[in-house]
Amino acid sequence: MKSTYLTPKEIHILGVQRTGQHAVIAWTIGHFNQVCFKNGFISRKTEGNHRGLTPPWFYFDTVNRPNFKREENRDRLIRTNQDAIILGTEFMNAFPKFCIDLDHEDRMKKKMVEEMRLDAFSKNRYYLGVLRSPWNHLASVLSWKPRYFLKRKDRFIRAWLMMAREYIGKTNDLPNPSMVVNFDLWFESKKYRKKISKFIGAPFSDKGLNVVMPMGRGRVIGSSFDRMAFNGKGNQMKVTERWREHLDNPTKFRDFLAKNEELVETARQIFGPFPKELNI
């Protein structure tokens, strides 16, 4: 008998606040026609803001709504017959390892598929972490007024290193199969984006590259710098030059980044030299 699934692909996209994961989410949505998306999926209550697999769910019909305007449905429940289900997790704090409780997650999914009389939640599951250069990531954190958690040096350094160690293979805390996306390279290189598409087993598409996700609080949504001004032309955003916004106080900005030797060495290993204006 043929197995039945809620969705053929379940894709988790995880990142520390303001690391660019919503841009990667929008791009990933563009690979599919019918997409079910949940923002703020966190698998352990100790992280806070625990929503799990409960509503609301958002739906995107990328064929009939090429601007990726999400469907405002009344029930806001999870639906069957979606090409992919995308679950976004944003870490507001940093722990020794990622707050992912797979047992709890699997219990929730099992309950859901039993209620819907299916065999399993998904046929294939993938995890994408997102890592941004620390000079651009920090600039975005400091420019996003509603977010204060990471503006403390120790929290930012701990959070950034948590994902960076995973990228270089120093740790292996993300569930498998997983891939950590170099956000700066993802933005600049079509060849690199094709590599990510291959990892999630989807035909390559850049349909979602220029979409800015309307995520945030109240009226403060979208980019830390441009809000929603570049929706539809996201490739024109200067996301790899955000650090320039803080050159009016380069000493303070530089000291924040240069405080931790491991951060400096790991950033150079992954992203190359720091911008020369920062003198790091």
* 46 DSSP 8-state letter: G
For residue 176 the two structure tokens come to 């498998």
- Number of Cβ atoms within 10 Å of the Cβ of 185: 18
Give domain limits for the chain: 5-278
Contact status, residue 221 vs residue 231, Cβ threshold 8 Å: no
Which CATH code of 3.30.420, 3.40.390, 3.40.50, 1.10.10 fits the domain covering 5-278?
A: 3.40.50
**For every one of its 280 residues, what pLDDT tens digit does the chain have, with 9 covering 90 and above?**
678 999 999 999 999 888 999 899 999 999 999 999 988 776 555 454 455 677 778 888 888 877 777 766 656 678 888 999 999 988 866 666 777 778 878 888 888 889 889 999 999 999 999 999 999 999 888 887 655 667 778 888 999 999 999 999 999 999 999 999 999 999 999 999 999 999 999 999 999 888 776 544 444 444 343 444 444 443 445 667 888 888 877 778 888 899 899 999 999 999 999 999 888 8
> Minimal CA–CA distance to 16: which of 166, 126, 188?
166
168, 266 contact by CB (below 8 A): yes
Q: 177: part of which helix (H) or strand (E)?
A: none
- Residue type present at position 241: E
Q: Which residue has the tokens 């001004």?
A: 229
